[in-house]
Amino acid sequence: MKLSKTWLAVIGLAGLSIILSAAQKEKAITYKPTPYKLSLPEFVYDYFEPMPMPANNPMTQEGVALGRYLFYDGILSENRTMSCGGCHRQANAFSDPRQFSFGVRGDLGIKQSMSLVNLGWSHFLFWDGRAKSLEAQGHDPITNPIEMASNWKLILPRLQTHADYPKMFYKAFGTTKIDSSLVLKALSQFQRSIVSFNSRFDAYFFGGDASVFTKEEERGMDLFFSEGASCNHCHSDVLLTDNFFRNNGLDLKPDSGMAKNTLLAKDIGKMRVPTLRNIALTAPYMHDGRFKTLEEVVNFYFDKVNAQSPNLDEHMTMLTNRVYVPESDRKALVAFLKTFTDSTLIQNKAYSDPFAFDAD
C-alpha cells in the first residue's frame, strides 16, 4: 500500500513531535544542580571562618529552593496546618514573638523558639545542644508530639504523590524517591542560606563609618566591649555569639539545660548562648522567654544575676559584685543593642514564604 505525500508528511511530523516531546521530558528532568554561593560581606572572611559544609550535603540553588518550600509548607505537620515558618517568622529574625509556641494539637512548648539566623556556623543545636547538625536538628520539631506531631510514614507518601515535590527533589538530589534524610538535607540547606550581616553595627565596626552611630550608641558600645558590661565575653566574634553553653545565673535552681543531653552535673543550667544579631526583633528573651524587653534583660545582668546558681559561668561572677550602673548607661547599652538589627533580612524575598509570594 502506497501512502500519499500528505500522509507521509503527517506521519513524519508526528514522529518528529514524539521525538521532540521525549527530548523535552529528558531535558526537564536532567539532574544538574547549581552550586549555591553564600552572599557574605568580605569582613566575615576577614574576621571569621567560612561556614562549614557537610560533605554529603553541599548547598545548591535547587536544594535551597526546595528547602524553602518545605520550610513554609504545612505538609510536614500532622494535620497540614503548621510549618517551620509558623514558629520561626522572618519578621522576627526567624524566631517566635510568643513566649512559647503552640503545636498542631494546641499544646504549649517548653522553650522559646530562638532565631535561626547564621546557624550554619553552629555545631550544636537547640538550647540544650542535643543535635550536632542542622540535619539532625530538623527531625525533632517535625516528630515532636507537642510541636508538629507528625511522622515520616505520614509525610513521605504526601510528598511522593505531590504534583511538584518529586520533580523538585530530583533537581536537588538526582532522585524522585523521597526519604526523610533528603527532606532534612533540603531544610538544612535553606537554613544555612539565612545569613545576616547588614546592620548599622556592621557599617560602624567593620566598615569604619562612624556617622551611623549616635553618641548614646557609641557609649553603649564602649560598655558592651569593656568591663562596664562585659557582654562581648559570650557574645563575641562576627556572629555575636561564641556558640558555647553557659549558665548565666537566671535561677538558684536552674533548668537542667545541657545536662539533659550530657547527663553531667557540671552542665546543669547551661544553655546555648544565642546570637545578639537582630536582638531587637527576637523578644521575648532567655530560654523560657521570661523577659519581654531589652531593658529587662539589661537590668537583670546589672542587678539580678544569681551568684549561687550552680555552674555559674565565670564571666557572670564579674556582674555579681558591681556597683550600681546609672540609668543613662543602661539606656545607652539598649540603644547599642538595637544597632544589631538587619532590616534587609526581614525584607529579603529569598527567605520569604514562597506560597505567599506565588499568590501575589
Report the pLDDT averaged over residues 79-98.
Answer: 98
- At the fourth CATH level, the homologous superfamily of domain 200-341 is Cytochrome c-like domain (1.10.760.10)
Query: Which of these ranges, 4-18, 233-247, 274-288, has the smallest mean pLDDT?
Result: 4-18
Cross-strand bridge partners of residue 108:
102
Q: In terms of DSSP H, where are the helices of the chain?
A: 5-28, 42-47, 61-71, 134-137, 139-143, 152-160, 165-173, 180-193, 200-205, 215-224, 259-262, 294-303, 314-317, 327-337, 343-347, 354-359
Question: Which one-letter amino acid corresponds to residue 132?
Answer: K
For residue 4, the model assigns a pLDDT of 53
- Cell 550536632 sits at which residue? 132
What's the CATH fold of domain 44-195+345-359? Cytochrome Bc1 Complex; Chain D, domain 2 (1.10.760)
CA 137 – CA 125 distance, rounded (Å): 6
Q: Which of 28, 64, 2, 54 is nearest to 348 (CA)?
A: 64
CA 93 – CA 81 distance, rounded (Å): 22
3-state SS class at 197? coil
Does position 85 have pLDDT exceeding 50, yes or no? yes
Report the pLDDT averaged over residues 253-259.
Answer: 96
Report the pLDDT averaged over residues 169-178.
Answer: 98
Does position 11 have pLDDT exceeding 90, yes or no? no
- Cell 546589672 sits at which residue? 302
- Other Cβ atoms less than 10 A from the Cβ of 6: the count is 8
CA 104 – CA 102 distance, rounded (Å): 7
CB 132 within 8 A of CB 124: yes
CA 272 – CA 284 distance, rounded (Å): 16
Between the alpha carbon of residue 245 and those of residues 10, 200, 253, 268, the distances in Å are 73, 28, 17, 10
Model confidence at 22, pLDDT cuts 50, 70, 90, reads: very low
Span 110-147, pLDDT tens digits: 999 999 999 999 999 999 999 999 999 999 999 999 99
Structural domain boundaries in the chain: 44-195+345-359, 200-341
CA atoms within 13 A on the CB side of 354: 13
For residue 228, the model assigns a pLDDT of 84
Percentage of residues of the chain with pLDDT beyond 90: 86
Looking at per-residue pLDDT, the higher value among 319 and 191 belongs to 191
Does position 13 have pLDDT exceeding 60, yes or no? no
CA 245 – CA 323 distance, rounded (Å): 27
